[in-house]
C-alpha cells in the first residue's frame, strides 16, 4: 500500500478551493482526493515538529541547520468576494 497523508480543512473553507503543496498547485483526482472535510494525498507529506533546545543551540552556533523535510500545505478559496488563504496546514498519516 502506498503512503498517504491527510490534511483537515479548516471549518470556514467552502466546497470550491485550490490546494497547493510547497507552492505547487495540486489537482484533485491526481494528487489528492477529498473525503468529507479531509484532503487525502497519495504520497507522504512531512511536517517538521518543534525543535528541541539542543537543536536550537546547534543552529544558533552555526553547527547545524534545519535540513529536515517540511511540506507546506495551503488552501486558497473565496469568501465574500475576497481571496482567502489557509496556510501552513499540518499533514498527518
Q: Domains of the chain: which residue ranges?
A: 5-89
What's the CA gap between 41 and 18, in Å, rounded?
14
pLDDT of residue 60: 62
β-sheet with 38-41: strand ranges across: 5-8, 38-41, 32-35
Structure pTM?
Answer: 0.77
The domain 5-89 is placed in CATH, from the list 2.70.98, 2.60.40, 1.10.287, 1.10.12, at 2.60.40
What's the CA gap between 33 and 63, in Å, rounded?
41
**Which residues in the chain come in under a pLDDT of 70?**
1-2, 47-68
Model confidence over 70-93: pLDDT tens digits? 789 999 999 999 999 999 999 988
Amino acid at each position: 500500500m502506498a503512503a498517504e497523508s491527510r490534511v483537515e480543512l479548516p471549518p470556514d473553507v467552502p466546497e470550491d478551493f485550490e490546494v497547493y503543496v510547497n507552492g505547487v498547485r495540486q489537482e484533485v483526482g491526481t494528487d489528492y482526493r477529498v473525503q468529507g472535510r479531509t484532503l487525502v494525498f497519495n504520497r507522504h507529506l512531512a511536517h517538521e515538529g518543534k525543535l528541541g533546545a539542543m537543536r536550537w543551540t546547534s543552529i544558533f552556533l552555526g553547527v547545524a541547520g534545519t535540513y529536515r523535510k517540511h511540506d507546506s500545505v495551503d488552501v486558497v478559496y473565496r469568501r465574500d468576494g475576497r481571496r482567502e488563504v489557509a496556510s501552513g496546514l499540518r499533514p498527518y498519516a
